[in-house]
Amino acid sequence: MQLRKIVTLLDETLTEGGRPVEPVARVAVVAAIIKNPWAGQGFVEDLGPGIDEIAPQLGALLAPRIMEALGEPLEAYGKAGIVGLHGEIEHASGLIHTLKFGDHFRNAASATTLLPAVEKRGPAGIAFDIPLKHFTDATIRSHHQSFEVRIADAPHPDELLIALAGAAQGRPQQRLAALSTEQ
């Protein structure tokens, strides 16, 4: 894995709807920008060897960093795979949609649900929204949220941006009734 940079973001919402948020709502994102091992090779039939090599390294790199950046117990999480213009969506999907990647985050967070994800191809600086869901029960509505990310110089055309996001709570000031009230 050829790592160019790691970017860590922390967002703290202090007020929402004109009212204080207590405790402060925290969302963290950690992104790794790596060389796309398949860029410029034309259509690669078998992505497996590259996935087997890189996905576990990315998971091991990002999972502890996101937990540290959040600084509180995690309650919601998600992931992203953004592909530079010389790659295919499948290049990022292959790395993030494997237990070899996701289990690092699930284990670090004591989570049981699948990680919601976004995959997208675009130029450096492209904005993308990482969806987040509750880490043990994806039906808990208060934790359905998304977080917008943009890294000015990533991904380059031959790179992948792989990110994890975590929140210490649901949406600030959430007021929706439980899903069970509609069933």
pLDDT bin (cut points 50, 70, 90) of residue 177 is confident
CB 160 within 8 A of CB 84: yes
Q: How far apart (Å, rounded) are the C-alpha atoms in residues 135 and 78? A: 9
User: What is the structure's pLDDT at 16?
Assistant: 96
The pTM for the full model equals 0.95
pLDDT for residue 180 is more than 90: no
Q: How far apart (Å, rounded) are the C-alpha atoms in residues 119 and 129? A: 10
Residue ranges covered by each domain of the chain = 3-182
Q: Does domain 3-182 correspond to CATH entry 3.30.300.130?
A: no
What would the mean pLDDT of 74-95 be, rounded to a whole number? 98
Integer angstrom CA distances of residue 80 from 21, 30, 85, 127, 173: 27, 10, 16, 11, 26
Q: How far apart (Å, rounded) are the C-alpha atoms in residues 157 and 87? A: 7
Q: How far apart (Å, rounded) are the C-alpha atoms in residues 157 and 155? A: 6
User: What is the structure's pLDDT at 182?
Assistant: 75
Q: Which two tokens stand for residue 176?
A: 């929706």
CB neighbour list of residue 45: distance below 8 Å, 6 or more residues apart:
none
What would the mean pLDDT of 72-82 be, rounded to a whole number? 98
Other CB atoms within 10 Å distance of the CB of residue 10: 12
